[in-house]
Amino acid sequence: MKKIIELKNISKAFDGETVLDGISLDIHDNEFITLLGPSGCGKTTTLRIIGGFEYPDEGDVIFMGERINDVPPHKRHVNTVFQKYALFPHLNVFENVAFPLRERKVPKKEIQEKVEQMLKMVMLSGFADRRVNSLSGGQQQRVAIARALVNEPKVLLLDEPLGALDLKLRKDMQQELKKIQKNTGITFIFVTHDQEEALSMSDTIVVMSEGKIQQIGSPTDIYNEPVNAFVADFIGESNIVDGVMLADYRVSFAGHTFNCLDTGFGKNEPVDVVIRPEDVDIVPPEKGMLCGTVTSVTFMGVHNEAIVDIRGFKWMIQTTDPVEEGAYIGITLEPDAIHIMKKSKYSGMFGDYSSFSNELDELSNPDEGEEA
């Protein structure tokens, strides 16, 4: 695949505070790429640098082989769907979509055709004369997408575009965006802090934290093979346990030695072990590799979410079987349920559910609203 944008060693600081710290990233033609990370990780700044609204302090932005560090936004073949849509309130739907075409002095007839075609694509035919303020959030979102795509940009930047929509609408728009991206063949660079959204839409996910890229990969890679405790914790739920790699395919943690699929670590190297809650099998205590007491059970609809105390470390286990609070249970782990990561600065910071509650989890991942 052809590279369309290359970020080379980009750094950016605001008021002496580093926001981006040596970001390098290749973005390919026709790719749906998502920048994912918590508030303040630098994902929006990265997007704004690509859009031309911020200039990097260091490093280069290459667009189709050309360095565009100093090219102003209106001269870039890139368009943006803004977080709160930024539709022009003094113009109706038609004129909002026609805005970039009028700027280029496109002939009237062509404007009419193109705008109609765009409105049709976002399923807003018949809304042309409506004032944008009279539209619902979802409709405004569609106008914003039509307006950004009418110029046929090479790359579309989307800054948390679904953040303001309710859950159901959000799911629909995810599908629709993906469809639009496939049909138009335009590269989408999507910014979000919602890992589910990222997993379901993206070809490639870039996980960011503290101004650095933690991992780049396909959704399955990122989920199954997180590189460190931060990624493992941010993408889905994970139990992250201290372990020791005894030899290739042999790891010891929680007082037991397990078979695993990982190789290439030093003998007796300390490692982080990731076990996804859905990969744990519950068995009677006498058959368990590890045993523990269930301290709480939450019914989640499809499954139960149990917190299990195993030698003082609280594990999260998701199971479709009934479990009861206070029960003493055994668990087994298949080799492919165990993922080994090298120790990193994030070791020990994540993956322990001793203070877990769904509510707290939501509090610590607030809707980011306006991120710088």
Residue 86 found at the interface with other proteins (CB under 8 A): yes
Closest to 261 in 3D by CA, of 352, 339, 369, 163: 339
Tell me which stretch binds other proteins (CB under 8 A): 94-102, 109-117, 203-211, 340-348: 94-102
Residue 43 found at the interface with other proteins (CB under 8 A): no
Of 65, 70, 104, 168, the residue at the interface with other proteins (CB under 8 A) is 104
Residue 74 found at the interface with other proteins (CB under 8 A): yes
Of 120, 131, 287, 345, the residue at the interface with other proteins (CB under 8 A) is 131
Tell me which stretch binds other proteins (CB under 8 A): 66-74, 179-187, 224-232, 237-245: 66-74
C-alpha span between 275 and 340 (Å, rounded): 9
Of 14, 55, 88, 328, the residue at the interface with other proteins (CB under 8 A) is 88
Q: How far is the CB of 155 from other proteins (least distance, A)?
A: 12
Strand duo 281-283 + 338-342: pairing: unpaired
Number of residues that bind other proteins (CB under 8 A): 26
Cβ density class 231-270: b for 16+ within 10 Å, e for less: bbbbbbbbbbbebbbeeeeebebbeeebebebeebeeeee
Residue 130 found at the interface with other proteins (CB under 8 A): no
Strand, helix or coil at 94?
Answer: helix
Residue 147 found at the interface with other proteins (CB under 8 A): yes
Residue 108 found at the interface with other proteins (CB under 8 A): no
Residue 335 found at the interface with other proteins (CB under 8 A): no
Nearer to other proteins, 52 or 351 (CB): 52
Q: How far is the CB of 242 from other proteins (least distance, A)?
A: 46
Q: How far is the CB of 148 from other proteins (least distance, A)?
A: 8
Task: Tokens 């995810």: give the residue.
Answer: 174
C-alpha span between 361 and 233 (Å, rounded): 11
C-alpha span between 168 and 162 (Å, rounded): 11
Residue 90 found at the interface with other proteins (CB under 8 A): yes
The answer to whether 158 and 181 are in contact (CB under 8 A) is no
Nearer to other proteins, 305 or 368 (CB): 368
Residue 356 found at the interface with other proteins (CB under 8 A): no
Q: Which residues touch 220 (CB under 8 Å, ≥6 apart)?
A: none
Residue 103 found at the interface with other proteins (CB under 8 A): yes
The answer to whether 174 and 198 are in contact (CB under 8 A) is no
Which tokens belong to 16? 């002496």
Closest to 240 in 3D by CA, of 292, 294, 276, 280: 276
Site for other proteins in 15-34 (CB under 8 A): none
Q: Applying CB under 8 A, which residues contact other proteins?
A: 51-53, 72-74, 78-80, 82-84, 86-90, 99-100, 102-104, 131, 147-148, 151
